[in-house]
Structure 1
Amino acid sequence: MKYLNQEQAKRICDRVIGLSKADECTVSIEGNRTGNVRFARNSVSTAGLTDDMQLFVRVAFGKRTGIAVINEFDDKSLERAVRRAEELARLAPENPEFVPAPGKQEFRSTGTYVANTAAIDPDFRAQVAATSIELARKQKLVTAGFFTDSTRFAAVANSKGVFGFQEFTDLSYTMTARTEDGRGSGWVTRSAVDAARFDAREAAEVAIEKALRSVEAKALEPGRYTVILEPAATSEILGNMFSSFDARSADEGRSFLAKKGGGNRLGDKLFDQQVNIWADPWNKDVPVAPWDNQTMLARERTDLIKDGRVASLEYSPYWALKTGKRATGGHGNMIMAGGTKSLEELIAGTKKGIVVTRTWYIRMVDPQSLLITGLTRDGTFYVENGKIKHPIKNFRFNESPVTILNNIDELGKPQVIGGDEVPYQMVLPPMKVRDFNFTSLSDAV
């Protein structure tokens, strides 16, 4: 694997910065090894391993910037990249929103690397696929899934004294199980930094159980229902809201956090009292890099929502300078507080309602209210008197995460949600929510 340790990465960063004749120079190096196995129709279809390393150099002359990217690390290549970035900077127009690179930062290491995840090999990946396929075959189901694992490093540096180095591991798994006639479908996703916290059998059995239970789905009239939303059902919906906590868009009237007449809604109570959401790069379940890649600012533990109130907004370096605020590093994860009950216990306490396994094809309808539309899929069930009575056909819904987080009846035990389908690494609870708006039926399973 193409991999640098901290000493090697710093030596290259120092070399690049030393070659630059610009007013300032910023360097980042990323290297990764990613393995995967994909299966479909109960057979492995592809498997592979990719290995890559890149260096990004950004220079500035005044407010003119240029960027070059290379994947060769000999001295001639490094110098060629610096000169190319400088050439582009001299040709570029001035950026009216240019902000100088930050000074030296303190990057406190986070727990993003676990050795047994880095040790995942082709045999491990093959066993994940084999376990998934064999369990499904026993139930006469057809599977499709994808398992990927990654070991990588990142280094950042600039000519003002910034330097950071971090190693990472992670894995993600998704599986769909369907009946042979296509009338039943179940799905599951799992994500972890530590391979010891991933159990392919447990995950596959979740998808299999949902596929078997979702056969003979009945139509239910669209309308407003109490719903029990699994974390995978809310992750993308809430992700749209989390990425809207930007001070500039709020101050300029372009987001749901804009106040009529000007200003933003920092400090306003917009959500149910139970809602507490924060970012924490040192969270043991979803640790992330201690710096923000875009700004090179150190990340902090930050409350977004505290007891239902908007607790903070994110300030880019430019907007912080313009408004006299402190710039903050972008968040890499989101953690939402929950309760102690399992999904099954939330169901047991529901007189009438609908369980939603997954939402997909999420599209924004109105950015200023965060109204979105999407579909349920892969296991939607009707609950009566604390028990799942029967599967139901899927719905299209129109909802806002703001409304969802105002209509919470109860929160369950939080779970890790990650992977390529969500904008952040997250820890989210299952939620029992009233008056969820289903607008029409969908024939998809």
Structure 2
Amino acid sequence: MTELDLAGQVMQLVARLAGPGGQAEVTVSRAELALTRFANSAIHQNVAESAVEVRLRMHLDGRTAAGSGTTVTPDGLRTLVERVLAAARFAPRDPAWPGLTPPTAVLPSPQWDAATAQAGPADRAALVRAFVDAAGGLETAGYCRTAVRAAAFANSAGHTVQGRTVEAAMDGIARAGGADGTARDCADRLADLDGAELGRRAAAKARAGTDPVELPPGRYPVVLEPAAVADLLENLAWYGFNGKRYAEGQSFAEPGVAQLDPAVTLVDDPLRAAGLPFDLEGTPTRALTLVDAGTIGAVVHDRRSAAEVGGESTGHAWTGSSTFGPIPRNLRLAPARATGTSGGGEVGTAGPAGGTAAVAGLAEPLAGAVPDADTAALVSRMPRGLLVSDLWYTRVLDPKSLVITGLTRNGVWLVEDGQVTRAVRDLRFTESYPRALGPGAVLELGRRTARQPNRWDGVWWEAPALRLASWNFTGGASG
């Protein structure tokens, strides 16, 4: 049976067992995930899973309960309905119940690529082989994955929708003399991933990262590569544009206020790629501008958080929204325009993307630190500062001001007079992300965005490289 057939069966059981006073919504999702892992430059694991999950939420006599199951036989579905019904009868009263999504049209799912949906181990292995070969003998590790999701939603208000999506991603690392270099990509089609290009990029960064020097803590101008910018977007999503945190007064966001630099425009766009056309409550998803030229335009909501602030759901209910709150999970930082200002009043002159940039006067192997011409253009206009590949182990110190502490990894380099001169040992930082992106703080954005895969399929962050006036490094390798 299709996902929509299963959803219809659940709703029939709810009507029969709960009676006319019950309100219910059900999502049936089918996920087919496949992963090829490699380490020591050889594939060591190939796994795949296919699972169907049924999630049911019921509101009865002013009380709400939810549950899920993976058994889709008639007996299994009946057991799920009976279990949720029993839980609803004993649950505390829920005066904030926002009601059900009424029948509403949704946009079509993103373009479906059958070749990716049907990809097998050999298809992923070919990309791994290309990555390993391009690394030129360096030790490599990483993964290549494909993900297929199909879902259907139905509720007792008569609303039914369905959709499907597919995604491919690759993330790899190369190591040279204790230095690591990484490269990753996320795409709508497996055919759009270039294992050889990713392998060359990771290897070039590893070779350029050997024999690093240690720099003292302090504030440095930085160029953040897209992988590092992705951490900014992820934390802004979880803590800044989260409608539950906003309703509780725990978000920095003030809609209508120019809190960020005019160069910053953030759009959450699930249907750009790998997103379903509706959320867990059946609300249609769409592109939503959260920041427009530095001015906060919106935060995201599910039905419950929207009701708290007197607004409407933006289609961001997910499995964790009742606990963690609704978050934008497909956030894109718009790149610099082809002409005009690219941030901070400076004129952007970034060249075309593609290939490792040759920075004038810079000897190999440090040229490999700069992954592409777009990033090279930003580096060339930085008198002195740091080029940062990646941020990790980031933790929130103050949710309201979004002060984050974390570490650099996979390559940091000193830039002097627009040229990369030395590899630098990893640094700890403590920085307010809104401050780092505040008015006057964003000097320049790249013109090309790169989509970064997340540990969960269907979640991604897309951004260009970013040149910032200041980043607060609070500790070096020695402490």
Instruction: Go from structure 1 to structure 2 and tell me whether the alpha carbon gap of 1:291 and 1:430 turns closer, same or farther (over 3 Å shift).
Output: same
CA contact (8 A) 2:406 2:429 kept: yes
Task: Give the alignment of 1:183-332 within 5 angstroms.
Answer: 184-243=179-238, 244-257=240-253, 265-283=254-272, 286-293=273-280, 295-330=281-316, 331-332=328-329
Of 3, 28, 48 in structure 2, the residue corresponding to residue 9 of structure 1 is 3
**Cα drift, residue 424 of structure 1:** 4.2
**Cα drift, residue 396 of structure 1:** 0.5
Answering whether residue 474 of structure 2 is matched by residue 439 of structure 1, we say yes
- Identify unmatched segments of 5+ residues in structure 1: 258-264
Q: Deviations over 1:159-208 (max 9, x none)?
A: 111212111111221111112x42x2111121112112210011111110
Aligned to 2:320: none
CA contact (8 A) 1:394 1:443 kept: no
CA contact (8 A) 1:276 1:308 kept: yes
**Cα drift, residue 272 of structure 1:** 0.8
Aligned to 1:89: 88
**Cα drift, residue 73 of structure 1:** 2.4
Q: Residue 394 of structure 1 aligns to a residue in which SS?
A: coil
Instruction: Go from structure 1 to structure 2 and tell me whether the alpha carbon gap of 1:143 and 1:319 turns closer, same or farther (over 3 Å shift).
Output: closer
**Cα drift, residue 247 of structure 1:** 4.5
Aligned to 2:463: 428
Q: Distance in 1 between matches of 2:134 and 2:270?
A: 36
Q: Residue 355 of structure 1 aligns to a residue in which SS?
A: strand
Instruction: Go from structure 1 to structure 2 and tell me whether the alpha carbon gap of 1:398 and 1:423 turns closer, same or farther (over 3 Å shift).
Output: farther
Residue identity opposite 1:306 in structure 2: D
Task: Give the alignment of 1:361-376 within 5 angstroms.
Answer: 361-376=393-408
CA contact (8 A) 1:280 1:287 kept: no
Instruction: Go from structure 1 to structure 2 and tell me whether the alpha carbon gap of 1:251 and 1:228 turns closer, same or farther (over 3 Å shift).
Output: same
Instruction: Go from structure 1 to structure 2 and tell me whether the alpha carbon gap of 1:204 and 1:427 turns closer, same or farther (over 3 Å shift).
Output: same
Answering whether residue 54 of structure 2 is matched by residue 58 of structure 1, we say no
Task: Give the alignment of 1:7-156 within 5 angstroms.
Answer: 8-20=2-14, 21-22=17-18, 23-111=22-110, 113-136=112-135, 138-139=136-137, 141-156=138-153
Q: Deviations over 1:22-59 (max 9, x none)?
A: 31121111112211111112222211111211222222
Count of aligned pairs: 424
Q: Distance in 1 between matches of 2:442 and 2:231?
A: 18
Q: Distance in 2 between matches of 1:290 and 1:232?
A: 27
Aligned to 2:158: 161
Instruction: Go from structure 1 to structure 2 and tell me whether the alpha carbon gap of 1:200 and 1:373 turns closer, same or farther (over 3 Å shift).
Output: same
TM-score normalized by the length of structure 2: 0.84
Residue identity opposite 1:392 in structure 2: V
Q: Distance in 2 between matches of 1:156 and 1:380?
A: 46
Answering whether residue 398 of structure 2 is matched by residue 398 of structure 1, we say no
Aligned to 2:362: none
Q: Distance in 2 between matches of 1:277 and 1:311?
A: 9
Q: Distance in 2 between matches of 1:421 and 1:150?
A: 10
Instruction: Go from structure 1 to structure 2 and tell me whether the alpha carbon gap of 1:298 and 1:350 turns closer, same or farther (over 3 Å shift).
Output: same
Q: Distance in 1 between matches of 2:46 and 2:394?
A: 29
CA contact (8 A) 1:112 1:287 kept: no
- Percent identity of the aligned residues? 26
Residue identity opposite 2:277 in structure 1: P
Q: Distance in 1 between matches of 2:426 and 2:88?
A: 53
Instruction: Go from structure 1 to structure 2 and tell me whether the alpha carbon gap of 1:253 and 1:74 turns closer, same or farther (over 3 Å shift).
Output: closer
Q: Distance in 2 between matches of 1:26 and 1:116?
A: 33
**Cα drift, residue 119 of structure 1:** 2.5
Aligned to 1:408: 442
Q: Residue 360 of structure 1 aligns to a residue in which SS?
A: strand
Instruction: Go from structure 1 to structure 2 and tell me whether the alpha carbon gap of 1:314 and 1:151 turns closer, same or farther (over 3 Å shift).
Output: closer
Q: Residue 203 of structure 1 aligns to a residue in which SS?
A: helix
Answering whether residue 454 of structure 2 is matched by residue 419 of structure 1, we say yes
Q: Residue 439 of structure 1 aligns to a residue in which SS?
A: strand
Aligned to 2:363: none
**Cα drift, residue 105 of structure 1:** 1.9
**Cα drift, residue 422 of structure 1:** 9.9
Q: Which moved more, 1:393-402 or 1:18-27?
A: 18-27
CA contact (8 A) 1:236 1:421 kept: no
